[in-house]
Amino acid sequence: MPRKKVETVSLIDTFSEFKETKNIDRTTLISVLEESFRSVIAKLFGSDENFDVIVNPDKGDCEIYRNREVVADAEVRDPNRQIGLTEAQQIDPDYEEGEEVSEPIEFAKFGRRAILTLRQTLSSKILELEHDALYNKYKAREGEIIGAEVYQTWKSETLLLDDEGNELVMPKNQQIPRDFFHKGDTIRTVIDRVDNTSGSPKIYLSRTSPMFLQRLLEAEIPEISDGLISIRAIARIPGERAKVAVESYDDRIDPVGACVGVKGSRIHGIVRELRGENIDIINYTSNISLFIQRALGPAKVNNIRLDEEAKKADVYLRPEEVSLAIGKSGQNIKLASMLTGYTIDVYREVDDVDTEDIYLDEFTDEIEPWVIEAIKNLGMETAKDVLKAPRELLIEKADLEEETVDEILEILRAEFEDELKPAYESGSEASDALAADGVEDTPPVSNQ
């Protein structure tokens, strides 16, 4: 038999608060509304399998039909699924046994409790959907920079709101030490992580993450956003100092110069955003020894011994370079280690000038003055400095012929015969030497 057109059940009050639900598409909303109605119907009748539910959220109404089989009056066993012939013919005289009766159910007649149950069920499901939508939205945006408005600041964290009024949290330890916010301030920050363990998503922000600095660099430097320059590694001590290793895929582009800009024009805005954090930009290289040397700048390294398996580097420097390598409060060596991934120990190199070493200027009778000047330009002042240096270094860096270098080495060795000491101090000797110089960190000076 055909289904008769019936007056819909008006539940505008129930629907109104869900019509404009944010982050939930129409199809999903209709599905949730239908599921909620079926949940209540199942509680009222024991099953919802023989019910048709048609939801129209735009009008705030719903049509519900119950389908039952027509049986003889004495054979009715399940009133929810079966209807007696007499009762069926009261609906329509043409009904016969074996046919299906589809009759409208007025949900509102089930009373206030049923409607209240429906509202509670809807609220629960809609809230769950909103949480899932919010989680998925921000989970996909982890690592992005956003602008958010400060709503309230507590001792342990700051609460912010996005454009849609969603709550975002920035813990105190994710704020730059010199950060100070007022209610209503709009600040830039990076989406650090999204947690959904309790069923209610919590979005955490950060201004101390290396990713925040990376996103700022991408925003300020076109060559990075265009892919011409790549950021290979970042190490930060938030609000104090940072080191960034960059690499260019175009030989015509100087990656360091492009990032810094003319007179620091490109980097100044980032420094201000990071509350005065000093940023060192260095050229990346796959040569780990050279990379460590660059990372320890402005200190000049004499020699490096690597243990690649243990990810450890012993770095040897002249005494006056040790404090530069360590840096204020150990910041330079710590950042260099973070940047390269190597544990770095700094050793002070032995200087024997006060015993039996001889300044190069004393050899002007045997070595051409211009040759001495070329060697001194490499930072070597004494005979033992030259003897401890690799022969290839003298040839390549001083631009000298091999025969000339060999002749110089022979002249210098003749002055010392077999009295040369080992080139580098042991760890304990370096410790005593640094202590005597007043260096706070006792070598071997580690990044740990």
DSSP alpha helix (H) spans, 237-330? 255-260, 265-273, 288-295, 319-326
Q: Using the structure block, give the residue that is written with the tokens 């050229």.
A: 283
For each of the chain's 448 residues, which pLDDT tens digit applies?
444 443 334 454 555 555 555 556 777 777 888 888 888 888 888 888 999 988 776 666 778 898 999 999 888 899 889 999 888 888 888 888 889 998 888 877 777 787 788 778 878 887 888 888 899 999 999 999 999 999 999 999 999 999 989 999 999 999 999 999 999 999 999 999 999 887 789 999 999 999 999 999 999 999 999 999 999 999 999 999 999 999 998 888 999 999 998 888 899 999 999 999 999 999 999 999 999 999 999 999 988 999 999 999 999 998 888 889 999 889 999 999 999 999 999 988 755 444 467 888 888 888 888 888 888 888 888 888 888 888 888 888 888 888 888 898 888 888 776 444 333 333 333 334 333 443 333 334 445 4
Please give the class, per CATH, of domain 209-284: alpha beta
3-state SS assignment for residue 225? helix
C-alpha to C-alpha distance for 383 and 400, rounded to whole angstroms:
17
DSSP-derived secondary structure for 352-407: -TTTT--BGGGGTTTS-HHHHHHHHTTT--BHHHHHHS-HHHHHHHTT--HHHHHH
What is the length of the chain?
A: 448
Predicted pLDDT at 418: 47
Fold matches, 141-207 and 285-350 = no
Q: CATH code for 141-207?
A: 2.40.50.140
* CA dist 149 → 134, 170, 187 (Å): 18, 12, 6
Q: Which residue ranges make up each domain of the chain?
A: 9-135, 141-207, 209-284, 285-350, 360-416
Pick the CATH number of 285-350 from 3.40.50.720, 3.30.300.20, 3.30.428.10, 3.40.190.10: 3.30.300.20
Q: What is the pTM of this model?
A: 0.65
Answer for the pair 363, 412: CB distance below 8 angstroms, yes or no.
Answer: yes
C-alpha to C-alpha distance for 24 and 35, rounded to whole angstroms:
15
Predicted pLDDT at 188: 96
Predicted pLDDT at 114: 79
Q: CATH code for 9-135?
A: 3.30.1480.10
3-state SS assignment for residue 293? helix
